[in-house]
Amino acid sequence: MGFIFYIRDHYFHTDYVEENNFEPFFSSQPGYIPPFPELTDFDRGVLKVCGDWGAHPDKEDFKILLSCLQHQEVVKGIYDKLDHQVITPDADLELFKDELANIWFTNSGSEKETIGFRHIFCGEPNDKLGGMHFVGRYVEAQEDKWAGAIWNDKSLCNKSDIKPPVYTFGMKYLGKDGEVKVKCPNGYAYNLHADDILVSATKAFKELGKDGMCLYKMEDDDYQSVFVRKNNAILTFYPDLTPKCNNKSTYCSCTLRFFPILPSVSLMLIFAGFKRLLSSKSQAFLRLLSVDMMHTRITTNKDINVIETLMDCDIAETTIIAPNTYDPFITAVNKRTARGIKARGAGVNRGYRIATSVGGTLTGEGGDFIIVDDPLSPAQALSETFRKRATNWFDQTLVTRLNDRKKGVIVLVMHRLHQEDLTRHLLSKPKNIWHHICLPMISENKEEIIYSIKKPALSVPVVQVTATRRLYNTTASCAAPAIILYSREEGQLLYHLDEGKEEVEMIKVELGSYAFAAQYQQNPLPLSSGIIKQEWLKRYRSFPDNLSYVTQSWDTAVSTSDASNFSVCTTWAKIDNKFYLLDVYRAKLEYPKLKEQVLSLAARWTPYAILIEAKTSGQQLVQELKANSDLPIIEIVPHDDKLARFHQIVPMIESGKVFLPHQAVWLSDFEYEILMFPETRHDDQVDSTVQYLQWIRNNTYWTAAIRTL
């Protein structure tokens, strides 16, 4: 079969091409500019379907491409990877190709035509460049001098993000009028060929199952891609380098805000954040989710008023909400980006929405549903001035804006940043009326989040988040019993995170104990009020050449139940009257495994002494090891209570005699426990440390045994 194409809509003259010297997207020289990718025959075929710069590709050309003899191996691969189905299960190849062409070439736009194939593969160089997320199109644009990169000019674009295989950068391009325009940022995934994009975006189309947005992650890639489906067609698919997070702002500020207005469109909403509440990304979520969430619960004859108050926010021009943002439910939205200017949409009811920042004025405004999203940045949380500013504004301004204090709702969503932050301020009030939901990255005990309703009211929407990151909305009857929305076991990660345990351990090392405990575990360390101060703990970068007087200190437990303590072994070395923590072992073990681990760690470190506390499990361990091994077991009988023993060794730490490594996988947990003591749930590492330091303090006259590992 032949392959016939027609050049359509060639809208600029060659004169424009010759006089523009664009920076290259690719280079054969080493550096941060990527090399030219190797395009396949199918990649080149897709570019032929795209046509010239600004052309409108035709569905029939795409179907011809899928039928070309030289591409049948690739097409068969697409067919198999999609399990022979786009819409119809187990479709034959011809029906499959027809349905594939339909979802890629059906108009998914509203005011202007938007064809997913053109948007993603070809780009739409109108007044603003739309799409263009296929690496092959950048090759063609460089070859034909349609566009070029902005690599070093921060006055035009300072948003370059180079994390191979994803490249995000600014670019110059020829607009429809022939003038050179700027798009900042734009990007592509270097490793995705045309057939990869067709397969991945079509899989996302099938998995989403309805109009909306999802974050799609391919099996072998470290990045995620944003996929949008609208009008039962593909709208866009592009790589996303946004740092992975738990989407609390998305769910609470972009999704939750629709729920109260669905049953009652006359409600008034207020949203507050510390800065850039209306970022371009949150507006994208707003546009995508509004249609998906609202179509299911509200009819088009209802009209919603919206107010956006941009107080003390850094708002870029790209964040302006178009008139159809809430389409078809809002008659008009007029927006200005000047600081302090309100934008109001006029509708038939009293309902509206306000967005402001912490400290912004709300004089004369009122709300039925108030959401506060991250009232402090991490830097601001370290300032007592900013913390007091946030709590005073919350107490004296925001809560007074509730229209009805009996029925009104306030939601605060934030990660913990300081022991005296707004969350602590609210929870420490004498009469606590807050329902506190805490989701640490790593569960510290078995937990269940239960949804229940105490008083009769309207039906209440419930948001459920699945591991596939889709959003669903259901309605829980007020007479319904309690519903377990989420549960997990001790030590389990949040189930929708892409990070595994190894990645979480690396985060601990990179952030340190303070930041990880606060931002990830929602349990900020007391920076200045603990018994042990952070600055007292000294550091070493590598083991000393001669490790002397190596000692292991065991605090034992013999149960693996959730409520039980850990068995802990800390391994220490004494050099020149300084004490170096070499290793920490911490696990929940039954007695046989505990005994095996004592023998294993002793074989690894060949300690001069092994200290074991003579309590129930330890006493049995001491007796068996003394009788059946040559290990230097020393039985420790503690005196005084735990806190008193701890205070006895504080001077040794305060004087700078105790050294910890700069990095270790166990370091964050150890620091957290010793700096938080006595407020921690577990204190096994503290017990083991205190046992060693007390013993070594009382035995300094012993002669050190020198040996080299």
Residues 542 and 562 grouped into a single domain: yes
Question: Residue 351: pLDDT band by 50, 70, 90 thresholds?
Answer: low
Question: At 312, which CATH number?
Answer: 3.40.50
CATH number (domain holding residue 572): 3.30.420.240
Q: Is there a domain that residue 517 lies in?
A: no
148 occurs within a structural domain = yes
The parent domain of residue 131 ranges over: 14-240
How far, in Å, CA of 488 to CA of 471, rounded? 20
* pLDDT tens track for 126-155: 778 889 999 999 999 999 999 998 877 666
Give which of 350, 408, 415, 347 is closest to 376, Cα–Cα: 415
Residues 94 and 100: their CA atoms lie apart, in Å, by 10
Of the candidates 390, 400, 395, 396, the one whose C-alpha atom is nearest the C-alpha of residue 359 is 390
Of 198, 224, 240, the residue at which a domain comes to its end is 240
Residue 477 resides in a domain: no
Number of domains in the chain: 3
Does one domain contain both 231 and 253?
no
Same domain? 158 vs 80 = yes
C-alpha span between 135 and 121 (Å, rounded)? 8
**Inside any domain, residue 492:** no
Same domain, 147 and 279: no
Range among 264-278, 384-398, 509-523, 568-582 rated most confident = 568-582
Asked if residue 624 and residue 549 are part of one domain, the reply reads yes
Which among 437, 463, 478 is the end of a domain? 437
Q: Is residue 458 in some structural domain? A: no
Q: Do 65 and 148 lie in a common domain?
A: yes
According to the model, what pLDDT value does residue 9 have? 36
Is there a contact between 436 and 449 (Cβ–Cβ < 8 Å)? no
Query: Maximum Cα–Cα distance for the chain, whole Å?
Result: 94
- pTM of structure: 0.42
Whether 317 and 269 share a structural domain: yes
User: In terms of pLDDT, which residue wins out, 219 or 91?
Assistant: 91
71 and 171 fall within a common domain: yes
What pLDDT is attached to residue 307? 29
Asked if residue 196 belongs to a domain, the reply is: yes
Give the three-class secondary structure for 586.
strand
Q: Which pLDDT does position 495 carry in this prediction?
A: 57
> Which one has a higher pLDDT value, 445 or 522?
522
**What would the pLDDT profile of 522-558 be if each residue is shown by its tens digit?**
877 655 446 888 889 998 877 766 777 899 999 998 6
* Domain end call among 437, 463, 480: 437
Q: In terms of domains, do 163 and 302 share one?
A: no
Does residue 393 lie within any of the structural domains?
yes
Q: Is residue 217 located within the same domain as residue 260?
A: no
- The separation between the first and the last C-alpha atoms of the chain, rounded to the nearest angstrom, is 73
Q: Judge whether residue 570 has pLDDT over 90.
A: yes
- If asked whether residues 226 and 103 sit together in one domain, one would say yes
Is residue 221 in a domain? yes
Q: What is the mean pLDDT of residues 372-393?
A: 81
What integer best gives the mean pLDDT of the chain? 72
H helix and E strand count, the chain: 19, 28
* Shared domain check, 333 and 235: no
Q: What percent of the chain has pLDDT over 90?
A: 26
Tell me 164's DSSP state: T
CB–CB of 66/54 below 8 Å?
Answer: no
